[in-house]
Amino acid sequence: MEIARSGDRVALSILLHRRECDLCAVSKSPSILNSTYHSSPKIPAILEVVHILPWHFLEQKNKPETVQTWGLLNTWTSIDIQEWVRQNANSPGNAILLAPDVRALLENFYLWLDKVEDVADSENSYRLQVDPRWVALVHLYHGRIVTFQDHSSTGVQLPLSEALAIHASIAKALHASGAADFFRGVLKDKEDAADDFIND
């Protein structure tokens, strides 16, 4: 656990594969590397570690629009997002194992998870929400209940409700404001920042 928290992406991936039992947390697509699932009706995928709130949120830019954007996002979420990421970025609680198509949706705030209270395991259950412009994906995912469970034998931390709530708040703010494209430009992950993180 401590290795993963220190930023070791390989260790974090191992933890998440154990926690999610080699399945995409949203679509339940199995890992293509796990022969146990070769007869699964779901299409296998190369599963990827996805940070709910990415490391590049810590990048400081001096452009006026960037400062204004972070001010708005912090106001909407009532949390200092960058400070939260600084403390929790590499925790299993800030990461999900996803198939590539779902990863793209989550990272671009086209898909988010809202907490639900009307199911048995409400503490770790969320309802998927999808940008209505993605009609095909709305039919696939919108309204689906996702319940996170730890399938490992070592007690791997589940996704933190705070991380998912912040992500959902940002997604809702983007779509409600009609400024999604502008904000995505400000929040976009630069390739060099991603490379620096992976090689950290």
* pLDDT tens, residue by residue, 122-131: 789 999 998 8
Q: What is the pTM of this model?
A: 0.76
What's the confidence (pLDDT) of residue 64? 45
Tokens of 19: 């926690």
What's the confidence (pLDDT) of residue 23? 94
**What is the residue range of 111's domain?**
2-198
User: What's the 3-state SS for 42-75?
Assistant: CCCECCEEEECCCHHHHCCCCCHHHHHHHHHHHH
Output 99 or 132, whichever has higher pLDDT: 99
Assign 60 a pLDDT band (cuts: 50, 70, 90): low
Output 58 or 37, whichever has higher pLDDT: 37
Give the mean model confidence (pLDDT) for residues 152-165. 92
d(CA 106, CA 25) in angstroms, rounded, equals 12
Q: How many domains does the chain have?
A: 1
What's the confidence (pLDDT) of residue 24? 94
Tokens of 195: 């490379």
What's the confidence (pLDDT) of residue 5? 44
> Would you tell me how many other CB atoms lie within 10 Å of the CB of residue 162?
16
Q: % helix / strand / coil in the chain, to the nearest 5?
A: 50, 15, 40
What's the confidence (pLDDT) of residue 147? 93
Largest CA distance in the chain: 53
User: What's the 3-state SS for 140-200?
Assistant: HHCCCEEECCCCCCCCCCCCCHHHHHHHHHHHHHHHHHCCHHHHHHHHCCCHHHHHHHHCC
Phi, psi of 53 (to 5 degrees): -115, 110
C-alpha dist (Å) from residue 73 to 7, 76, 149, 155: 25, 5, 30, 33
Would you call 14 exposed, middle or buried from its count of C-beta atoms within 10 A (0-12, 13-18, 19+)? middle
Give the mean model confidence (pLDDT) for residues 8-22. 91
Give the mean model confidence (pLDDT) for residues 106-132. 87
Least confident of 34-38, 96-100, 176-180: 176-180
Least confident of 21-25, 117-121, 147-151, 160-164: 117-121
Tokens of 166: 């912040």
